[in-house]
Amino acid sequence: MRWIAPLVFVVCSALLAPAAQAASKEKIDRRVADALVRFNEEVRGGDELIASAAGVLIFPKIVKAGFGIGGEHGQGALRMNGQNIEYYSLTSGSIGWQIGAQVKTELILFMNQDVLQKFRNSNGWEAGVDASIAVVTLGAGGEIDTHTIDNPVLGFIISNKGLMYNLSFEGAKISKIDK
């Protein structure tokens, strides 16, 4: 039984190592642009929602892996007025029944200047602690749930199967990185 913890560590490290490598600014910019195209294809009215946000934090490629103990990591950019202005990393860990790996895209929309400024002024921001993120779901016909969009911070999670609504942002630590 003593071999289980080291084995879990080795497996998780091997699965997350490619994701933990720093991507170049240009690579993040390309991935963010691709994520926005996909978001607008998935979410009817998504472009208008993004245009009305004070800022949008986009993590185009978050790799999550686990074998009993899991973790996820990704890098992205904060967009304001159609430009990537700052770069961030997202990291979280978990313990519990889990095995495998997945890749997903996350978008966090700051719907007013006050919540955006609190995020930008923070020294490491944790979802669920520093702010609650309302995960947006889609109704019939791909329409955005209008009850959710009244929240100051909105979150969208997209997997290779499309927009997901049963996941959470809780516990994700977001930190600014220099690019």
Radius of gyration of the chain (CA): 16
pTM (2 d.p.):
0.78
The CA distance from 8 to 1, in Å, is 12
Q: What share of the chain is helix, strand, coil (3-state, %, to 5)?
A: 30, 45, 25
Give the pLDDT confidence of 65-84 residue by residue, as tens digits: 777 677 889 999 999 999 99
The CA distance from 162 to 179, in Å, is 30
Give the pLDDT confidence of 100-153 residue by residue, as tens digits: 778 889 999 999 999 999 999 988 777 655 566 777 766 555 566 555 667 899
Relative to beta strand 83-110, strand 173-177 is antiparallel
